[in-house]
Structure 1
Amino acid sequence: MENQLYRTRINKALKYMGEHLSEEITISHLADAAHFSPFHFQRIYKALQSETPYDTILRLRLEKSVFLLKHYRSKPIAEVAFESGFSSIENFSRQFKKRFAVSPSAFRKDKELQKSRIYQEQNEYDFYYTIEESRREGVREFPVTIEQVEGTPIALVRAFFGADGSGLLESYHHLMEWGEKRGFRLRGERCRFGMSIDDPDVTPVGLYRYDFALAVDRGTEGEGIVEIGEIPAGAYVTLHCEGTITDVAQAWDYLYQVWLPESTYLPLHYPAIEEFVKGPEEIGWEKFDIKCRILVRKGESL
């Protein structure tokens, strides 16, 4: 059984990476963030993450660059490289092509490639296989609104997908039990959330992170693997979806492949949010009733 204290500390290192991708990140920085000795941090990190800290940093920087190339099409590639934390455009281009077998400029031009899970192997246990199947059915249209959302303090538990999609149920139930003991609201709108920390089109399944979150009172303190954060106030592109995992996948495809590119809004670098209107306690895990939300700002037409 994984040590919860170690997992909580490694999560702090991951959080530090995400917040400082455009800066130099050293083992000392990460060890300090995780409250581990630098002499032991790398071995502990690799034991829990199955990759080295520098592997993770490179992967996250490449994922951020994919996000920028997809959604900020007028941004120069050199700027994408530096914002993603690469020391030079040459280094960025080399690492991007090594990972994805295509140059950044070619990726930006190829919209079909942008819709795919970039050169990742599929297998019969791949949680995202059903999502890939849904894409073959064509992109459906959904009604979309822009909603102004107030900031919401949240408690969250991070789930790491296993190769078979495991890891979700345990994390969700842990958070719900934690919230119930403290008297927080567990049903209805604006109380239960899910957030994709990584891009499922880029991140290997076993490394994909998903946060379950619960609205809490401001000033609430975390405990163990339960951390405290906040969903920021702002304008959110919002799509209400009811149906199966295939319907949810098609809803996200519509937002990212059709609605956003044709709009005058730019997605901000904050995780996509799934707000559970009804949760598994009410409708099980086979059906979904969620609001898909993306934090945006007004910008040029893409």
Structure 2
Amino acid sequence: MVKYQNRFIEILSYVEANLDTDLDVEKLCQLAYLSKYHFHRQCSAFFGMSVMSLVKLLRLKRAAYQLAYRSETKVVDVALACGYESHEGFCRAFKKIFNQSPSGFSLAPDWTPWHSKYEPILKLRTKIMTDKVNLNVEIVEFPETLVATMEHRGAPDLLGNTIKKFIEWRKENRFPPSKSKTFNLLYDDPNVTAPDEYRLDLCCSIECEVEESPEGIVNKVIPKGRCAVIRHIGSDDYLSVLINSLYSKWLEESHYELRDFPIFLERVCFFPESSENEVITDIYLPIK
């Protein structure tokens, strides 16, 4: 069983790294050491969907991020990048998953239909990370950092709307990620917090305080102090397992205690500019 599981984990890694290419079923069969007669059935059993449905969902996820958060991107360019030969074919596939046209989603994205369609992939990735989690923790002294902050208060499923507003504010005020570091302050665990009580801050580093705005921008400080940090390379889908392992297994085995500040992320390398398997996120746990 473990042997087969490892084969399909390798297939998932290969798919994630090669979404921009014409994925060849013969190559995937070779990776799984299976004939095509058995490959499709076992893929469906392991992934919860056919391998091509998996590819389609991962491509449409990247397309949705480009449309929602990169307003300069043209729909036709997104369609071509997803491997669709026509604008019409892409629009049909996108609307089937999101219940919105690509252009409508770009203006006012509704992520609700997506979450139910994407749930099998999220569960799969969570299971994979749980089985193979291996923390490489460093202890660092984090410097005091002034940040412009947009507070998200409410259901995690609505976070995408806050992200869109925050990106637009950064563009208007010239705080691009290339010059201003990006942070998330994680106050609550979405798995144990009522949706309407969930809290998360979207932040970017600033040299001096900014004017607090109608969009909800406020000035905050990430205090200096010791932190345990791990670097994660890959999809955000794996983050919850790493965070839970940092709090439980690592903290229990260390001699450190928690400081009075929430765990936070630094977004070093972004999706969708980078593929999901190349995204870089540093996870900081304040300790003393």
Which band: TM-score by shorter chain?
0.5 to 0.7
User: 5+ unaligned residues in a row in structure 2: which ranges?
Assistant: 142-155, 159-177, 205-214, 218-232, 252-256, 274-288
Equivalent residue letter for 2:200 = A
Which residue of 92, 103, 107 maps to 1:109? Answer: 107
Q: Does 1:175 align with 2:133?
A: yes
Which residue of 11, 21, 24 maps to 2:22? Answer: 24
Q: Does 1:118 align with 2:92?
A: no
Which residue of 32, 35, 40 maps to 2:33? Answer: 35
Please state whether the residue corresponding to 1:48 is helix, strand or coil: helix
Which residue of 99, 102, 123 maps to 1:161? Answer: 123
Please state whether the residue corresponding to 2:49 is helix, strand or coil: coil
CA positional deviation for 1:81: 0.7
Which residue of 267, 271, 279 maps to 2:235? Answer: 271
Which is helix-richer, 1 or 2?
2
Change (3 A) 1:56 1:253: farther
Please state whether the residue corresponding to 2:267 is helix, strand or coil: strand
Change (3 A) 1:118 1:28: same
Moved over 6 A (4+): none
Equivalent residue letter for 1:90 = E
CA positional deviation for 1:294: 4.3
Q: Mapping of 1:124-273 within 5 angstroms?
A: 161=123, 167=127, 170-171=130-131, 175-176=133-134, 186=137, 188=139, 237-239=181-183, 241=185, 243-245=187-189, 250-251=199-200, 271-272=235-236
d(CA) in 2 for partners of 1:168 and 1:18? 14
Change (3 A) 1:41 1:252: farther
Aligned to 1:280: 248
CA positional deviation for 1:72: 2.0
Change (3 A) 1:243 1:110: closer
Aligned to 1:55: 53
Question: Does the CA-based 8 Å contact 2:186-2:263 persist in structure 1?
Answer: yes
Please state whether the residue corresponding to 1:161 is helix, strand or coil: helix
Aligned length: 195
Question: Considering only aligned residues, what root-mean-square deviation do their CA atoms show, in Å?
Answer: 4.5
CA positional deviation for 1:289: 2.1
Aligned to 2:267: 293
Equivalent residue letter for 1:175 = V
Question: Does the CA-based 8 Å contact 2:186-2:264 persist in structure 1?
Answer: yes
d(CA) in 1 for partners of 2:11 and 2:2? 14
d(CA) in 2 for partners of 1:87 and 1:46? 26
Q: Does 1:84 align with 2:82?
A: yes
Change (3 A) 1:118 1:201: farther
Please state whether the residue corresponding to 2:183 is helix, strand or coil: strand
Q: Deviations over 1:29-53 (max 9, x none)?
A: 2212333322321111111112111
Aligned to 1:264: none
Equivalent residue letter for 2:265 = K
Change (3 A) 1:52 1:121: closer
User: 5+ unaligned residues in a row in structure 1: which ranges?
Assistant: 127-158, 180-184, 191-199, 203-233, 260-268
Question: Does the CA-based 8 Å contact 1:160-1:168 persist in structure 2?
Answer: no
CA positional deviation for 1:99: 1.4
d(CA) in 2 for partners of 1:57 and 1:168? 18
Please state whether the residue corresponding to 1:22 is helix, strand or coil: coil
Question: Does the CA-based 8 Å contact 1:279-1:289 persist in structure 2?
Answer: no
Aligned to 1:182: none
